[in-house]
């Protein structure tokens, strides 16, 4: 079996988050609702725990889509500082000019 890259794992997590977002939100609301009985809130928490772990939004890591690097990530461009500099120097990012003084 081939080893998955971190980028592939992260994309799989993003898909799971999108798939289970509505159900997760509904169960969280039920678990926190003071108007429901204690048993109903407990059942909602158990159902929430049965969902896949990777369907939680905090499991998704901001990663560079070019290199997979998790650090130095620019959210607007979805890439790391290193990939940004490399592509910018090659003129592959429109509007980006490498400055030197």
Per residue in 43-56, pLDDT tens?
Answer: 999 999 999 999 99
> Can you point out the beta strands (E) in 1-101?
73-74, 79-80
Per the structure block, which two tokens stand in for 94? 């429109």
Residue pair 29/65 in contact (Cβ under 8 Å)? The answer is: no
Residue pair 60/14 in contact (Cβ under 8 Å)? The answer is: yes
Read off the pLDDT of residues 4-58 as tens digits, 9 standing for 90 and up.
788 999 999 999 999 999 999 999 999 999 999 999 999 999 999 999 999 999 9
């Amino acid at each position: 079996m081939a080893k998955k890259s971190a980028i592939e794992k992260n994309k799989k997590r993003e898909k799971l988050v999108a798939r289970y977002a509505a159900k997760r939100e509904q169960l969280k609301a039920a678990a926190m609702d003071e108007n429901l009985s204690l048993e109903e809130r407990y059942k909602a928490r158990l159902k929430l725990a049965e969902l896949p772990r990777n369907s939680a939004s905090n499991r998704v890591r901001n990663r560079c889509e070019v290199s997979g690097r998790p650090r130095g990530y620019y959210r607007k461009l979805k890439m790391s500082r290193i990939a940004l500099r490399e592509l910018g120097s090659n003129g592959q990012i429109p509007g980006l000019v490498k400055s030197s003084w």
